[in-house]
Amino acid sequence: ETGVTQSPTHLIKTRGQQVTLRCSSQSGHNTVSWYQQALGQGPQFIFQYYREEENGRGNFPPRFSGLQFPNYSSELNVNALELDDSALYLCASSRWGDSYEQYFGPGTRLTVT
Amino acid sequence: AQSVTQPDIHITVSEGASLELRCNYSYGATPYLFWYVQSPGQGLQLLLKYFSGDTLVQGIKGFEAEFKRSQSSFNLRKPSVHWSDAAEYFCAVQPRTASKLTFGTGTRLQVTL
């Protein structure tokens, strides 16, 4: 059984640029959630995708957007990067209706300079 | 809105000593409850979860947690800590109708030899 994978591992971007992070869900999972973890903080829920549509969103501005593909993989896009976007971005997959237990990937470390 | 409080930011214990990490939550109904562990620069690993039933739940690596509804608490315990347990520990809650986790700010565990 393949776990959740994320790419890239690390990324450095400049303020104002755009970034795309990728996530492959665990085999058999059809729901993907994204979390932002700033240094020294707990993860914060960004949004969730199910059946290729956004299904719930946390307190993040519209410049944070996402996609889910037919194979259940997902992308997180962030436009107009700000210094405060520097964080570890975690992807989690789950099976809709199956106790909602989420399995996390190793994360992508984004640094905005 | 739901919230999770982990009152201890940093705890130091000696190897072989017992451990208890505190977690209190605020939520309208009994949510699903989780404990995750995160090693430096890594993603989140699920230690244990409570959905219903027996209020004492067993997890991996010798950890257990007790759900106390009257105190809105879900404290994590381990009878004898190993040096490899040094990490950041996060308590999290999730509504029973959606897979959106709300995390506490974490407790950093240091283990002295």
| Residue of chain B minimizing CA distance to A31 | B99
| Residue of chain A minimizing CA distance to B91 | A42
Instruction: Give ∠ CA B46-A34-B87 in degrees, rounded to 5.
Output: 35
The structure tokens listed for A16 are 């104002």
**Strand A44-50 to strand A53-57: parallel, antiparallel, or no bridges (unpaired)?**
antiparallel
Among A46, A60, A101, A110, the residue to mutate for chain B (most B Cβ within 10 A): A101
Torsion of CA A111, A53, B44, A24, to 10 degrees: -80
Among A9, A91, A102, the residue to mutate for chain B (most B Cβ within 10 A): A102
- CA A32 to each of CA A27, A49, A94, B106: distance values in angstroms, whole numbers, following the listed order: 12, 5, 6, 23
pLDDT for the residue A1: 60
A105: nearest CB among B36, B43, B51: B43
Q: Residue B19: is it exposed, middle or buried by C-beta count within 10 angstroms (0-12/13-18/19+)? A: middle
In this prediction, residue A38 has a pLDDT band, given cuts at 50, 70 and 90, of very high
From chain A, the residues in CB contact with B36 under 8 A are 104
In this prediction, residue A99 has a pLDDT band, given cuts at 50, 70 and 90, of low
Look at A31-35, A39-43, A99-103, B39-43 and tell me which has the smallest mean pLDDT. Answer: A99-103
